[in-house]
Amino acid sequence: MIKTPDILWTSQDAARATGGDVHPDWQATGVSINTRTLKPGDLFIALQGPNADGHDYVATAFEKGASAAAVCHRPPVLDPDAPLLVVDDTMQALEALGRAARDRLDHAKVIAVTGSVGKTGTKEALKLVLSEQGKTSASEGSLNNHWGLPLSLSRIPKDADYAVLELGMNHPGELTPLSLMARPHVCVITTIAPAHTEFFANADEIADAKAEIFKGAQPGATAVLNRDIKEYDRLFDAARGADMGEIVTFGGGIDADFRLVECSLHAESSDVTAMTPLGELTYRLGVPGRHWVMNSLCVLAAVHAAGGNVAQAAKTLSKLTAPTGRGQRFEIETGAGSFVLIDESYNASPAAMRAAMAVLSAQPLGPDGRRIAVLGDMLELGEETPELHAALNEVLEDNHINLVFLAGEAMEHLWKVMPSERRGHHSVSSDLLADVVRKAVRPGDVVMVKGSAGVRMGRVVEVLKSLAISKHEKGEAE
């Protein structure tokens, strides 16, 4: 039986929230700012930006099934009776919808997640485990900035039990307005690590910026903090200074509330034993890597802080899969044999590179197989860019990576210090590199692709996935 979508917004509700005018009446089951991902029944909000004006796409939105459009002016191509929400400023209207959506959450526990790395994976894991315990809404993808957060809020049903929101930043002061809009009951900081260091003098400044998540917290809210990092005391003091009601910690040290006892790391999963305030828990995690193990402790701590069932959440973690571009694993069948592709192409930082290479190191190889890293520039590292890229050579050495292909100007610093036997190829762009990697990969290999989003390493992933033969072709080959 197909479930009828919830009505998220009526024209009257949207008008009250935004101060806009509507005619005729309409109802929306979703909210969209992009016609490429718009679903039938969505309210399309025509945002105006430096490179595009959403008003140019309103007609397309209606062709794709939009129930209404929020506009500053009526596009001339529209039917006179097209259902509209006419406002003075569509960005301000989106923010107003986000605030109104938050206001009407009467009983939902709102969990906000930030951190230098791991926030999207942690958010997705929380969405998974809490969805089995109540009606749960979560930010899609990485909708975590000044427009992503109000969009995510505007999509939350008023009868939700849990709302999981990702908050991102790369400058000081960015998290404060997001926290004030989200007004979380649980504030999660996954970790502090070198990321966006172009805009911060040191890790303490990054920690201070992440601690802005406490600024909008509800009275009596709980902070969930990583007990293992050196910035813990700084974050603890910030949480106390913000009058957080409780602080729950996770990590590997004896003082952590959710403490790792032991784990067994496998190619596609991990087995974890953890000590918690509820006693010892043993569970299987459906994704590989020690960084995911630590994320899972963070997830359980957040579930505890939100009043959820921790033991049930631990069992559900066996169903966890890696988000797109953050560790998805593919076995690529070619005419000559198969190789494994791990897609880590969404983003990169020094800490995330170390975690990814550890996962690659743990992968079993086929006959004559090699561990191959295809790496793109790590962006927004400022003056430390040369040394942080060159330092990856030691990471590659420690994890026994056989062959490395590089894309981007900054990766030249790594190329210069790598031994010749590890050098595959260096190109200025992922487009130029993709075909080189395609020709180099052979059966038995395990290939990991990683880089900052701006370097577009997903292009390499697409080319490698295109090597897969169809079932029909496979049958003919056999």
- 141 and 217, same domain (yes or no): yes
How many domains does the chain contain in total?
3
Measured at the CA of 117, the angle between CA 294 and CA 91, to 5 degrees, comes to 135
SS3 assignment, position 335: coil
- 123 and 259, same domain (yes or no): yes
- 424 and 453, same domain (yes or no): yes
Last residue of a domain, one of 45, 63, 89: 89
Other Cβ atoms closer than 10 A to 437: 23
- 463 and 383, same domain (yes or no): yes
Asked, for residue 127, whether it belongs to a domain, the answer is yes
Q: Considering the entire predicted model, what is its pTM? A: 0.90
Domain containing 401: what range? 328-471
Q: What is the CATH number of the domain that holds 440?
A: 3.90.190.20
- 215 and 347, same domain (yes or no): no
Contact 145, 98 (CB under 8 A): no
Measured at the CA of 424, the angle between CA 418 and CA 425, to 5 degrees, comes to 95
Of 175, 160, 159, 156, the C-alpha closest to 113 is 175
Asked, for residue 98, whether it belongs to a domain, the answer is no
Q: One digit per residue, pLDDT tens: the chain, 478 residues?
A: 566 788 999 999 999 999 999 989 999 999 999 999 999 999 999 999 888 899 999 999 999 999 999 999 988 878 888 999 999 999 999 999 999 999 999 899 999 999 998 999 999 999 999 999 999 999 998 889 999 999 999 999 999 999 999 999 988 999 999 999 999 999 999 999 876 566 787 899 999 999 999 999 999 999 999 999 999 999 999 999 999 999 999 999 999 999 999 999 999 999 999 999 999 999 999 999 999 999 999 999 999 999 999 999 999 999 999 988 889 999 999 989 999 999 999 889 998 999 999 999 999 999 999 999 999 999 988 889 999 999 999 999 999 999 999 999 999 999 999 999 999 999 999 999 999 999 999 999 999 999 998 999 999 999 999 999 754 445 444 4
